[in-house]
């Protein structure tokens, strides 16, 4: 403790604190470059891999959506065709007994 008091009295408080601050900044810089930077690098690699997977899933969803739209479109055409055929059957004139008798009597 006495050493610090001697240094402060010899160089002054602001100079000693500036040197101390420089030492702290140097320690934080070393800690960041040795411990934090590799972790960030690993996280960046994982992030890139996840982004690639998301892009692949997005492409798969786009393809699946196109397939579903195609199936719905074709199914809609099939339903429309079935509806038209059913209307034709409904709208065909039905032969009643009187019509059959009249057709048979004219022969």
Rounded Cα distance, 26 and 21, in Å: 8
* Higher-pLDDT residue of 53, 76: 53
Percent of the chain exceeding pLDDT 90 equals: 61
pLDDT tens-place string over residues 11-48: 999 999 999 999 999 999 999 999 999 999 999 999 99
- pTM, two decimals, is 0.48
Q: For residue 77, give both structure tokens.
A: 């055409």
Q: Over 60: is that where the pLDDT of 105 sits?
A: no
pLDDT at 84: 86
Domain residue extents for the chain: 2-92
* Higher-pLDDT residue of 34, 83: 34
């Amino acid at each position: 403790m006495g050493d610090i008091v001697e240094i402060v009295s010899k160089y002054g408080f602001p100079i000693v604190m500036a040197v101390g601050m420089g030492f702290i900044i140097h320690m934080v810089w070393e800690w960041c470059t040795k411990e934090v930077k590799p972790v960030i690098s690993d996280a960046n690699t994982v992030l890139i891999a996840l982004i690639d997977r998301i892009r692949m899933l997005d492409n798969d969803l786009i393809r699946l959506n196109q397939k579903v739209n195609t199936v719905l479109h074709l199914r809609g055409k099939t339903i429309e065709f079935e509806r038209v055929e059913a209307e034709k059957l409904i709208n065909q004139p039905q032969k009643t007994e009187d019509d059959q008798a009249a057709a048979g009597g004219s022969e």
